[in-house]
Structures are given as structure tokens and as C-alpha cells.
Amino acid sequence: MTERFPAEASSEAAAVLPVASGPSDPYARVAETFPRLSGEQVARVTSFGAVEDLPAGTVLFEINDRGVDFFLVLEGFIEIYDIGPDGEPHVMTIHADDQFTGELDLFNDRAILVGGRMGVDGRVARLDRAQFRRMLAAEPDIAETIMRAFILRRAGFISHGQAAVTVVGSRRSGDYLRIQRFLARNGHPFLTVDTDGDGESAAAAAALLAERGVGPAETPLVLCGRDSFLIRPTNVELGTCLGITEPLNSQTVSDVVVVGGGPAGLAAAVYAASEGLSTLVLEAEAPGGQAGTSSRIENYLGFPTGISGQELAGRAQVQAQKFGARIAVPRKVERLSAESSPYTLCLDDGTEVRARTVVLATGASYRRLEGAADVERFEGSGIHYGATAIEASLCENEEVVVVGGGNSAGQAAVFLSRSAKHVHVLTRGAGLAASMSDYLVGRITASPERITLHPHTEITALTGDRHLEEVTWIDRRTGAKETRPVANVFLMLGAVPNTGWLRGTVALDDKGFVRTGSAAVAGVQRDNGWAPGLLETSRPGIFAVGDVRANSVKRVAAAVGQGSIVVSEVHQYLASS
């Protein structure tokens, strides 16, 4: 019996992301992506659930269901399918004897991407979500096999364009790029059709738009199914339509609510959930925070060849969910009511979330460019605040500008130099050594044919019609100006804390960062002699970690460390309250 049929990308979109093949293809790793459990492992899994005899054609779960069960095949086989362009089920994979269903959405309450049905009369072991989690906790060897398979299956969906939505639009459009970033960072498979592409791509885009009565000026268009589409959706609208957004219960009181899903927030979620605390993470866009836009982090402990910020965040997200943490996106917190515990967090859609303790991990954002007109007009269509593969695809054989002198700027310059014609690094200072790691400085100075450093230099003008076309900068020492044909500028200019919603709630320093520890209560009236812990704010039971914390070291490793150790202070607060 054939064990799997990985489908190719939908023929509806002629010009799409490349389909993976070769040794990097997750489907080439059959023994890991579609493993068979041993007889002894099958018996152990079965003991946690119920055995059922099911006839051929029985639907076990359907696309867009939430909270589906886990199935282990004892006899027969299960067909995994998505819906093809003709509206009919299209078989992607078959799970035979001793194989199991599921991928990453079994760790959360998102809408699942595929359906499953019995291909023949057969027998299965069914585990509901609670039984599945108990099995994972009790059987670590089986859990490792399942975890690896789930990760590879989702990677297969993404690389093969399976169970994917299709995004149609101009590659220079800010909304087109925003939608791609949102889908990519949230691990949702997607295909793209560029209206500005070659003849084949343009024809495919025109056909898709005409079928739905949408004009080119109305793009980007997101095809969510055969008869469902969205025009220029917001991230919230997109998350709701695709089932990425999970429902929240305002009556539930969590032990810990983490605001922000960057490295610090994800670390807090992993450690809190692994220690038995009910944990909810509220993230405004996607897990990873500012670090999630980093092309490669090479000085993070344990990864000698480096790891992308998105990959690091993805692994941490799965790890937190494995222990039971819920990660809700896109969920923006607008207000924190901190008069008494349980605290109430008010979200932008009116939803309220309650928590015994709160961990603030909202991080910081890059500053906007000063001294140049039209910055806002070109944001997304020439001005970028992160350098991932999506942005790099816009820069092939073109000159680009990176503004900043820190590690993020260095990582972006090195990464972009692989595809760009030339990278110009602009910094106000005399050089890079004062603010950038030595290994990045060395790579930049060793690549004069690909990267040019412009010290004491600032951008003075940005010009273009629909998108950025030219950039002018000035050397402040000599007054010399230079204008180059640059369509993409990457801004990595320091850090502005995401704390506007916290003013009047917890103590902030003069730059807006959250004070913690002894600094948090300086000049604040103390109740009953209470003194905050190292990471506690001026409000008992509310903590701050990572870049949002005053005087913190702006490094991924430091953020992860704070996120992990804050849980001990959370335990102390809960025990005393």
C-alpha cells in the first residue's frame, strides 16, 4: 500500500512559491515525517484512549474544525485531504497501520488545515485532547517521535503549498508584503501570484482577479477557499477568516498571562506551562517579536551555525504549546486594569482576559527615520523594519540601504548581500565596533565588493511614485550628498518600548521602559512593607522581562533568561497571595 501522496501546489495559481524537492524536502524524510510506531508503542498509546471500528468513508475531522482528536491506525488506512480547485477532496497523504494523524494544530485550538476520513473499513485508537496530552507527558519517547513528525508535516505543507491560501497582488505593495509576513511568521501555508510578474504570472493573476470580479487596484486579494476571498484584509480579519485566531473565554482566570510573544515572552510561557501554571500568551502579530525578523542569529548559545529568528520563535512556540500554554494571535492589549488581582486585560476587539499574574514582554520597536520626508508613505513599499526571505526577494540584483549600527543592522546587511547587487550601510557614528558584535563587523569589512559602510551619514530624501525609487544621503562631515537608485531601505534604529498602553499603570522610566525591582518603587508608597522582586514592577504580581524592561541588555539570550527566571517570582507571588 502506498503510504503517502504529497500533492503538488494547486494548479489554480500558475506563478507560486517554489515547491521544495531534494534532501531538504520534509517529505523525503519518510521515516520521520510518516513514522510507524512499534507494536509495544502502539499498545502504550492505545491504553490512553478508546479503540473504534469504523466503516470506509467515516469522516474523522474536517477542514476548519478545532480541537480534533488524535488517531492511531490499528487496521486499514486514513486518507488526509484538502479541497482541490474543483471543490472536491484531494488526497494528500495516507496513514496506514501503526501510523498516526495530526500536525502542529493538535497542540492548539486553531482551525485545522486538512480533513481526515477512513479509506477502508478499519480500526483506530482515538485519543481526545486531554488523553493526547496525558500520553505525551507519560511517554517521552513516543512524544519525541510525534513532535518531530508534526513539525515536519507542517514544514511539508508550507514548502509544497498544500492546504494553502493564495495571495494575489503587487510585490511592491505594502499590504501584499504585510500579509505574507503575517502568514509566514504564523506558520500558515500560502502561495503568491505577483500581478507585476512576467507574462505567465500576470496572466494567472488577471484570471484569478477576473473570476472574482476584483480589479488590480483592489489587491491584495487572499483566496481562502474555492468560494471565499478577502480584499486587502487586516491581520485581524485574516486571522479570523483562516482560524488562526483562537477564541478566548473572559470568565477564565489564568495563572499567568504573558503580553508579547517575543523570545522573553515565549521563554516565560515555556517555563510557566511546564511547571503546571495555566498560561496564556497574547501576541499582537506573530510569535518572535523583533527577533523574529532577524535573518540569522549566530551568537545564541547552542546554535554554532546560527538560527533565524523565525525558526527560533517557531520552535519555542511549539515547545510552549506542548506543555499546554495557549498562544493567541493576533491579539493586541489596549489596557491593563491593575487595581486588584485577578487583573483584567482589555483587548482591541473588546474581549477581556483575566489573570492572577501578568508578565509584560511587549519588547521594543525600531525608531522611525528622522529628517527625511515621506517615510510613512513608503513604509511597506520601500521602507522595512525587518530583513527576512520575503523582503530579500525584492532586492535581487538591486542596491539596498541598511540604516543602523547594531547587530540587527549587521545581520541584515550580511544576509541581504547574498542576493542584492550592493548593500550600503549608513550609520551616524564613526564606525560599527561600539555597537555591533565583532564577528559581524569582520564580515562587513571583509566584503567591500558587496557591502559599503558610510559613517557619519544620514538619509535626507526619499523619492518615488507608487513605491520607493531613489534615496539621497549626506555625509555630515563633508556635506557631500549622493543619490542612488534604491527601492528598499531597512531601518534598524535603536529601540522604542511598546509601553504606551501602560502609562499610569506601572512605573516607567523617562524613556518609557518599565521599571522593575527597587527602581520600580522609588518614590512609590509601599503597602505592608512589600518590596518587589528583581523583575516585578511597581504593581505586585505584574512583572516585566526582555527589551521592555528598563536597563535590560538588548540581546535575545538575555531576554530568554529573564523570561525563564521570572516564573520563580510568579510562583512566589502566587504562593503568598
Instruction: Map out the domains of the chain with their CATH numbers.
Output: 22-160 (2.60.120.10), 165-242 (3.40.30), 253-365+497-576 (3.50.50.60), 375-491 (3.50.50.60)
d(Cα 72, Cα 369) in Å, to the nearest integer? 55
Ramachandran bin of 57, using left for φ above 0, alpha for ψ from -120 to 50, beta for the remaining angles: left
User: Mean pLDDT across the stretch 462-483?
Assistant: 95
Element (H, E) at 343: strand 343-347
Distances, alpha carbon 570 to alpha carbons 26, 190, 276, 463, in Å:
39, 39, 12, 51
The CA-to-CA distance between both ends of the chain, in Å, stands at 60
- Per cent of the chain over pLDDT 70 is 95
Sheet holding 221-223, edge to edge: 190-194, 165-169, 221-223, 229-231
Collapsing DSSP to helix, strand or coil, 232 comes out as coil
**How does pLDDT run across 512-567, given as a tens digit for each residue?**
999 999 989 876 655 566 789 999 999 999 999 999 999 999 899 999 999 999 99
Cis check: omega of the bond before 342, within 30 degrees of 0: yes
**How does pLDDT run across 251-310, given as a tens digit for each residue?**
999 999 999 999 999 999 999 999 999 999 999 999 998 888 888 899 899 999 999 999
pLDDT at 225: 75
Is residue 147 within 8 A of residue 104, CB to CB? The reply is no
For 95, half-sphere exposure in the C-beta direction (CA atoms, 13 angstrom radius) is 29
Alpha-carbon dihedral sign for residues 159, 290, 372, 451: negative
Averaged confidence pLDDT in the chain: 91
d(Cα 240, Cα 246) in Å, to the nearest integer? 8
pLDDT at 14: 27
**How does pLDDT run across 103-122, given as a tens digit for each residue?**
999 999 999 999 999 999 99
Instruction: Extract the C-alpha cell encoding 365.
Output: 520597536
Provide the 8-state DSSP code for 216: G
Report pTM.
Answer: 0.91
Ramachandran bin of 574, using left for φ above 0, alpha for ψ from -120 to 50, beta for the remaining angles: alpha
Per-residue buried b or exposed e for 533-543, using 16+ beta carbons within 10 Å of the residue's own CB: bebbbbbbbbb
State the pLDDT confidence band at 75, using cuts at 50, 70 and 90.
Answer: very high
Ramachandran bin of 341, using left for φ above 0, alpha for ψ from -120 to 50, beta for the remaining angles: beta
d(Cα 161, Cα 189) in Å, to the nearest integer? 6
d(Cα 508, Cα 516) in Å, to the nearest integer? 9
User: Mean pLDDT across the stretch 422-449?
Assistant: 93
d(Cα 286, Cα 478) in Å, to the nearest integer? 43
Instruction: Extract the C-alpha cell encoding 206.
Output: 488577471
pLDDT at 76: 98
Distances, alpha carbon 512 to alpha carbons 255, 436, 507, in Å:
27, 24, 9
Provide the 8-state DSSP code for 187: T
pLDDT at 18: 33
User: Mean pLDDT across the stretch 194-211?
Assistant: 89
d(Cα 381, Cα 464) in Å, to the nearest integer? 10
